[in-house]
Amino acid sequence: MSAPAPQLAAVDRELGDAAPLPRDNGELVFEEQWQGRALGMGVVALERAGASWAEFRSHLAAAIAARPAAEHESAATAYYACWLDALESLLSEHGLL
Amino acid sequence: MSDEHGHHHDEHGHHHPRPASAVELRARALEALLAERGLVSTDAIDAVVELYEHDVGPQNGARVVARAWVDEAYRRRLLTDATAAIAELGFGGAEGENMVVVANAPAVHNMIVCTLCSCYPWPVLGLPPNWYKSAPYRARAVSEPRSVLAEFGVSLADGVEVRVWDSSAEIRYLVLPLRPAGTDGWSEAELAAIVTRDCMIGTALPAVPAGVR
């Protein structure tokens, strides 16, 4: 079995102020189930891939910068879409995708 | 900030009448691919989602209070610029940018409320309790704070002034309780252990557990 998942506070620290998880007065916002699963998938895959949060953070920042704002899209949808982009590009870089 | 917290889990386990969006399909496809490569498993993802959805956050505030009790210089910084002093201990971030700490004194008791909605210093206190968000608390904390305190089991001497602080999106308050008698020589960690969430909202006073000297 792998190491236990990092505490949410640790994930918050790693993501820093640049790309914080979407929240509403402290509670994580998952408008749809896939958003929560995207977060969980990132946490698990990073750890199993042996990738660092610093790497992921830079991929996430790049994905956010590269993604044009779409109309009729909520902040959480946009954020987790970028999250998927970042996860894919990081894992590709590691030769895992 | 919002008036009420939406429930974000409503769609779990129910039928999806609408078709999955493109991004949702992409998320599912990625998960299937990563599962095939052994990088994730459904169970591991479920465990993380479960953990984070129910994470009420560490009560970082207790460490702030304990530090202020043992370190007079820190206490002064905390009361002058709470945001910076709290950041010294590594806490802060979104919705914790403008913190104000109000100190209890022998003749002053502070409590916090958000009359408008449920603004709360969650980076230091975790998620608010349900009663904090309730309409009766929000109204009565202002109109009859002593009755509310009595219901929480806090009885104050007649001479003690009660100050109620209305948190907002701009300023979030935290109560610095008085260090209870009988805690001389305690370590910071021991002190932090008796500082409950409610002590820092002002609806409880730190208590030394019976049997501990």
Answer yes or no: is pLDDT of A32 > 70.
Answer: yes
**Are residues B185 and B80 part of one domain?**
yes
**Are residues B85 and B28 part of one domain?**
no
**Are residues B173 and B97 part of one domain?**
yes
Domain spans of chain A, in order of start: 43-97
Residue B5 lies in a domain: no
Which residue on chain A is closest to B90 by alpha carbon?
A: A13
> Of B35, B53, B71, which one is at a domain's C-terminal end?
B53
**Are residues B106 and B37 part of one domain?**
no
Which of the residues of B are catalytic?
114, 117-119
Q: Do A39 and B41 touch (CB under 8 A)?
A: no
Domain containing residue B37: 22-53
Q: Residues 19..58 of A with a Cβ closer than 8 Å to B: which?
A: 20, 23-34, 36-41, 43-45, 48-49
SS3 B84: helix
pLDDT value of position B5: 41
- Alpha helix (H) residue ranges in chain B: 22-36, 42-53, 60-70, 72-80, 82-88, 122-125, 130-133, 135-143, 145-151, 188-193, 197-201
Question: In angstroms, rounded to a whole number, what is the distance separating the alpha carbons of residues A24 and A44?
Answer: 24
Q: What is the mean pLDDT of residues B57-75?
A: 91
**Are residues B26 and B107 part of one domain?**
no
**Are residues B38 and B125 part of one domain?**
no
Taking only the tens place, the pLDDT of each residue in B173-192 is: 999 999 999 999 999 999 99
Question: In angstroms, rounded to a whole number, what is the distance separating the alpha carbons of residues B101 and B33?
Answer: 49
Q: Nearest CB to B11: which of A32, A49, A96?
A: A32
Question: In angstroms, rounded to a whole number, what is the distance separating the alpha carbons of residues B134 and B126?
Answer: 17
Chain B interface, best mutation among A17, A44, A89, by max B CB count within 10 A: A44
Domains identified in chain B, total number? 2
Q: What share of chain B is helix, strand, coil (3-state, %, to 5)?
A: 40, 10, 45
Task: Please give the model's pTM, rounded to 2 decimal places.
Answer: 0.63
**Are residues B141 and B42 part of one domain?**
no
Residue B113 lies in a domain: yes
Q: What is the mean pLDDT of residues A53-57?
A: 96
Q: At A3, is the pLDDT very low, low, confident or very high (cuts 50, 70, 90)?
A: low
Residue B107 lies in a domain: yes
ipTM of the shown complex? 0.94
**Are residues B129 and B35 part of one domain?**
no
Q: At A1, is the pLDDT very low, low, confident or very high (cuts 50, 70, 90)?
A: very low
Q: How many CA atoms lie within 13 A of B190 on its CB side?
A: 12
**Are residues B34 and B69 part of one domain?**
no
**Are residues B131 and B112 part of one domain?**
yes
**Are residues B116 and B98 part of one domain?**
yes
**Are residues B67 and B46 part of one domain?**
no
Residue B207 lies in a domain: no
